[in-house]
Amino acid sequence: MGSQPEFRRYLVNVDSISTPQLFTDCLVIGSGIAGLRAAIEAAKVRKVTLVCKGTLQDSNTWKAQGGIASVLDADDTFESHVADTLATGCGICDQEIVELVVRQGPELVQQLLCWGAEFDLTDGRIAITLEGGHSHARVAHGHGDETGRVIAEALIRRVRQEPNIRILENLYCIDLLTSDDNKCVGMIGCNGRRGPQIIWAANTILAAGGAGQLYRETTNPEVATGDGMAMAYRAGAVLKDLELMQFHPTTLYIAGATRALITETLRGEGAVLLDGEGRRFMTDYHESGELAPRDVVSRAILARMRETESTHVYLDVRHIDKAYFTGRFPFISQLCESFDIDVAKDLIPVRPSAHYMIGGVKTDASGATSIENLYACGEVASTGLHGANRLGSNSLLEGLVFGKVAGQMVSRGKRASAVYMKPPLIKYRIPHSDRTGLDTEDVRNSLRALMWRNVGITREDRPLAETQEIIGFWQRYVMDKVFDSPEGWECQNMLTVCLLMARSARMRLESRGVHFRRDFPQTDDQNFKRHLEVKR
């Protein structure tokens, strides 16, 4: 199929003279826990413009069932949480980052409670539970299995109360704008009604979320298409660990229905996994059984599905009191009822799905990227906290901590001013093509199926090479297209990130954490106890 395509700098024609413009001290892109917390922090001393692709509620945070991990019990210790995180990360966590996040966690979680986050309480204190990979109960929940929504609601209320924050919903960020000397100077976006517009910013915080929609099977909402990583790559930022996509072991499997997360807290409270023949199997794969790390459980389920020639396995919660179950897991209870599954009598059909992007835009301990004035936090970033495998419920914690850290850095930076900000003249034109008839929806569906098949839970060289070839062909087909809708821009972003993921997965000739190579099943510390970086 020929050589791989070059990536063009911008997805749309940019004319910084004729396009409507706004100016701000701080631009925050994204409305999950990291973006909201960053905006709140920066707004203490700076004017902030918060933009999001959909509404403030459209984020992975809002949909998160699992909890937020932090040391909230007198019998627990920072050292224990650090050790659990490092053990799960399979040798490539950044210990400085792990220490930073773990030690800042309790204060920020308590702050959420003060801001009105409706965490589950016991005797007036935040209730905590045990999850797989943790050596101590330290996971807080809100309304049982609606923790993400509880946290997001509290942060959104706070954001709306801040006079220094301007909220722009339904504004699609197409590209980050950069100057000739490699400084981020803002973004070009598009509002469906108002058309293209430029936001010039003294500092930009990228918190655009994850990339689960790159896979056919995913727990992520429709907005999670990897836009932030693709924009940062085109702008010249360093990205790392793009081969590390975490798959959640248990999502509800109903043929024809959208996958819905079945939180691992269920397994923490005694649910067991059964195969299609009714046999419990996890103890055959790991001494911790159902409480093994997520990558182990996902691969075990996949292996048992192949052995039994089944499309799924089952979660058995029949031994859990139904009244307790309904109160503890209201969302899952309603979800099961909607498919006529009686949790007191019936097994819950489940299978793995793409869940969390561990890799992303490389940052340091301040949230800074390789591009001046550009920070990243949340799932779009790769801080080094998770290593090669994320410990359950550490993601909301990371977003909370690094949202604050990035906001603090911006609050110490310069304001937008005529003296400091001299927006560069940008004129960028893409030649129009005579080729027509590209069906982006068909490309997206084919791409997601390809990624699930070849860059999924298990991988090997030949399918990874095939993936690069196929995506390269699609890339060449869209390179000379100028799209004018989010669907087209998303398609281009998805192709970009998928190609980079396949390349990275092919480069890591070992198995480590969530990255499992059938042709290299062993961990190779001599050559790969490190991160893999990519740059445009």
Dihedrals phi, psi of 77, to nearest 5 degrees: -140, 155
Q: How far is CA 56 from the centre of its chain?
A: 16
Q: Checking DSSP bridges between strand 21-29 and strand 48-51, what pairing results, if any?
A: parallel
Dihedrals phi, psi of 381, to nearest 5 degrees: -95, 160
Rounding to the nearest 10 degrees, give the CA dihedral for residues 512, 515, 516, 521.
Answer: -30
Q: Report the half-sphere exposure of 200 (CA within 13 A, side-chain side).
A: 19
| CA–CA gap between residue 98 and residue 96 (Å, rounded) | 6
| CA–CA gap between residue 439 and residue 112 (Å, rounded) | 44
Find residue 29's DSSP bridge partners.
51, 206
Confirm if 102 and 89 have CB atoms less than 8 A apart: no
The one-letter amino acid at 185: V
Q: 460: which DSSP letter? A: -
- 227-235 and 486-507 helices, crossing angle to 10°: 80
| CA–CA gap between residue 334 and residue 348 (Å, rounded) | 13
Confirm if 120 and 141 have CB atoms less than 8 A apart: yes
Residue 25 CB partners (closer than 8 Å, separation 6+)? 42, 46, 47, 48, 201, 202, 203, 410, 415, 416
Confirm if 37 and 407 have CB atoms less than 8 A apart: yes
| CA–CA gap between residue 391 and residue 376 (Å, rounded) | 21
Question: Is residue 166 classed as helix, strand or coil in its secondary structure?
Answer: strand
Residue 338 CB partners (closer than 8 Å, separation 6+)? none
Q: Checking DSSP bridges between strand 184-191 and strand 171-178, what pairing results, if any?
A: antiparallel
Q: Report the half-sphere exposure of 167 (CA within 13 A, side-chain side).
A: 17
Q: Which residue in 138, 216, 294, 508 is the catalytic one?
A: 294
Dihedrals phi, psi of 186, to nearest 5 degrees: 135, -150
Residue 294 is among the residues annotated as catalytic for this protein: yes
| CA–CA gap between residue 235 and residue 211 (Å, rounded) | 18
Known catalytic residues are 294
